[in-house]
Structure 1
Amino acid sequence: MPADFPKVSIITINFNGTAVTAELLQSLEKITYPDIEVVVVDNSTKTPGHELSIRFPWIKYLETGENRGFAGGNNQGIELATGDYIFLLNNDTEVAPDFLEPLVARMQSDTTIGVVCPKILYFDEPDTIQFAGFLPINPITGRGFSIGYLEKDKGQYNEARPTSRAHGAAMMFSRAAMEKVGLMAELFFLYYEEMDYCERFKRAGYTIWYEPKSKIWHKESISTGKGSTLKTYYYGRNRLLYLRRNTFGFQRVLMYLYYFIIAVPKNLLGYLIKGDTAHLKAFWQGLAWNFSNGSADIHDKK
């Protein structure tokens, strides 16, 4: 295989969504990049996707027997992967046939690039942008904004550029960078783990890039559902966990002041006003998790 086409390992997680995963695999069958392997990690707890390995015999299929979360499932896929580049791709996506070539070319253009992401559009509204890069996360508030979010794609974000972090739905990194940084932190389980991972890549000296010549389409929130208590729990838990792991010095003091004087009361009051006790409980339980897991507990898994 020519050096211009290093092997790419595409890893996707199936979680009780075999039909959606099959649609992704059908999409991947049409790609033009000549050297890939596809690893399907099955975290299903209801109906495992055994049929996937029969319908798509060219995949590597790994059934975990439990829900290991986004980080845990991807880590198992990474350990099974053999590619020079590793691409974490949500199962609720579909890709353009030529989506890999621009990503590989961008990675090969500069050895300091550790992670690269495509332009992400909404599947149901394929001319609408979900992701065209991210603005930096504020280390005090933990907030960051997606560039181009919900804008119609008119080519306004067609220039490749560094971005503050990757989008977890579709992120590719080099094996060389991953071997320096390590695997994803599994204590997040769901949400914010890719943001934490990106901070570790940056601390290791790598940059993160947005490459708009590559496009995918995302079927948002199929796995957990919009507005689910599961999402509320992990967002509440992991936003603070992320800040605890990635905010330092005096900024950490300001972060705690902002979080407990403004952010937490605002969220609790919002749920109380709505009478939404289910989400109130989920948010509080996520917050309480951080009280019972000290600094040693949150830094033991990198």
Structure 2
Amino acid sequence: MKRVSIVTVNFNQPLVTEDLLRSLAEVNAYPDLEIIVVDNGSKVNVVPEWQLRYKDIRFIRSEINTGFAGGNNIGIQHATGDYLFLINNDTEVTADLIGKLVAKMESDPKIGMISPKIHYFDQPGMLQYTGYTPMNYFTARNACIGQFEEDRGQYDSLTGITGYAHGAAMMIRREALQKAGVMAENYFLYYEELDWCERIRKAGYEIHVDLSALIYHKESVSVGKRTALKEFFMNRNRILFIRKNADTFTFLVFCCYFLAAVIPRNLFQYVKNKEYDFIPVFLKAITWHFTNKADSNNLGFPLTR
């Protein structure tokens, strides 16, 4: 029996994380499991309390917020499993989820990473993810298949190779991790899992989705649905992803597209929606690339705990 390490990251959402831990305890049908929770610089350090309440779970405290990639990478460093299952703390699992993903990984050594089907927690039966289409590197656009649709099984035949895993729930084979390395921490938030998938593919593995396995996701609990933080990193990292993964010609075409289409569209939307505070945030996300290399650790955004 292969060991699975579940890694999740908490940031100022202890009750949400406790819901996940309760979910894991109630459906813990997989026999060889370790659970690692990384507290990513939360204002209140709940780790000592958790250590008393949850004896079989490993808790790690980071005194600073290292972002989605950094928090997961901390957990990865302490994981001992043959497979590592990274899940958002705002998810809740189903009983056979882990067993199904492991069985699929065991059936094909070419699978480096796999995600399950994802439903919205607050609207069970509504799809969030059944796979991703490939990335268009000229526009940095792709699509999440099935999102916001009622799940009637219409996409279940897509089980197999997909464009990208979903950051809310992704299981990686240890051998693929050793070859591709951990997530790039200078993304901090958003696009890091897409970049990771690209490196896993370059290491010789495939990215899969298993639509017989299901998890529920309470989307955007930690960041919020519309914040300056999200606006900055979504735009900065969209550009960063192309800088890191496209050739020079493709990147130049993308820059032309971004200048001609994305910048005017976004500015128009900010003015139309009276979101004037987002305008300097958006421009800062763009100009970051004029003064920073693609591997720079300068995040370019002030973080508060």
Say whether the fold is shared (TM-score over 0.5).
Answer: yes
- The CA deviation string for residues 187-213 of structure 1, in whole angstroms up to 9 with x for no partner, is 000111001100111111110111011
Partner Cα distance (1:17, 1:297) in 2:
29
Could you list the structure 1 runs, at least 4 aligned residues long, displaced by more than 4 angstroms after superposition: none
**Aligned twin of 1:202:** 201
Q: Distance in 2 between matches of 1:289 and 1:89?
A: 30
More displaced, 41-50 or 28-37?
Answer: 41-50
Alignment of 1:1-302 (within 5 A): 5-29=1-25, 30-50=27-47, 51-159=49-157, 160-295=159-294, 297=296
Question: Aligned equivalents of 1:36 and 1:296: distance in 2?
Answer: 34
Supply the AA of the counterpart residue of 1:41: V
Cα pair distance change 1:39/1:295, threshold 3 Å? closer
Q: 1:282 to 1:249 in 2, by over 3 A?
A: closer
SS of 2:277's partner is: helix
Residue by residue over 1:221-268, the C-alpha shift from the partner in whole angstroms, topping out at 9 and shown as x without a partner, is 110111111100110111101111111142222111111221122212
CA 62–296 in structure 1, closer or farther in 2 if over 3 Å, else same: closer
| Aligned-partner Cα distance in 2 for 1:148–1:109 | 26
Paired residues, number: 294
Please report how far the alpha carbon of residue 276 of structure 1 lies from its aligned counterpart in structure 2 after TM superposition: 1.5
Contact 1:134–1:166 under 8 Å retained in 2: yes
Would you say the 8 A contact 1:42–1:61 is kept in 2?
yes
Q: TM-score when scaled to structure 2?
A: 0.93
Structure 1 spans left out of the alignment, 5+ residues: none
Unaligned runs of 5+ in 2: 298-305
Report Cα offsets for 1:67-93 as digits up to 9, x if no partner: 110011111100000000011100000
- Provide, for residues 46-72 of structure 1, a one-character-per-residue CA deviation record: whole Å limited to 9, x for no partner: 112222222211111000011110011
Q: Is the 8 A contact 1:185 1:193 kept in 2?
A: yes
Confirm or deny: 8 A CA contact 1:18 1:48 kept in the other structure.
no
2:240 and 2:294 in contact (8 A); partners too: no
Counterpart of 2:146, as a letter, is: G
CA apart distance, 1:152: 0.7
Cα RMSD for the two superposed structures: 1.3
Distance 2:59 2:296 in 1: 32
In structure 1, the residue corresponding to 2:225 is in which secondary structure?
coil
CA contact 1:128–1:152 (8 Å) conserved in 2: yes
DSSP 3-state at the match of 1:277? coil
